[in-house]
Amino acid sequence: MDTNRLTLYAGGSPGRMGLQLRGPCATIADAQELEQRLRRLLSTGITILWIDCRQLSYLNRTGQRALLNTERYARTVGATLFWCGLTNSVLEELRSYGMHLLMRILPATSYMGPVEFLRTPLH
């Protein structure tokens, strides 16, 4: 696996959907892929999406905007996003712009999405 590239893994069913983010969101293309993938998942009618962020190593400004846009879109379609296991560095970036106040951020141990597809065990 290329650790210098953002990779997304999705799994589950409409009632229990999960997404795992791995690597850095460091380019405009990464941010666009992230937002498009999240919107695609949300457009399937899911109401809750659990996002495992333990392996998200970096989130640039464009990536932060993608998260903000996705949060707004989720609200319009009646969905809730749970961001689990953000690293301290990514969390600090979100805090520096106040974005953490707009997101449901939980520790990794609070992840309740499907675990079958996760590349890294939760514990």
For 36, the token pair is: 């498009």
Which strands make up the sheet holding 104-106, listed edge to edge? 7-13, 16-25, 48-59, 80-84, 104-106
CATH of the domain at 69: 3.30.750.24
Look at the chain and report how many structural domains it folds into.
1
Tens-digit pLDDT string for the chain (123 aa): 456 889 999 888 877 799 999 999 999 999 999 999 999 999 998 999 999 999 999 999 999 999 999 999 999 999 999 999 999 999 999 999 899 999 999 999 999 988 877 765 554
Reported pTM? 0.90
Q: Which residues pair with 56 in a beta bridge?
A: 23
- 102 belongs to a structural domain: yes
- 2 belongs to a structural domain: no
Please answer whether residues 41 and 19 qualify as being in contact, where contact means their C-beta atoms are separated by less than 8 angstroms.
yes
What is the rounded distance in angstroms from the CA atom of residue 13 to the CA atom of residue 20? 15
- 3-state class (DSSP) for residue 11: strand
Residues spanned by the domain of 28? 7-110
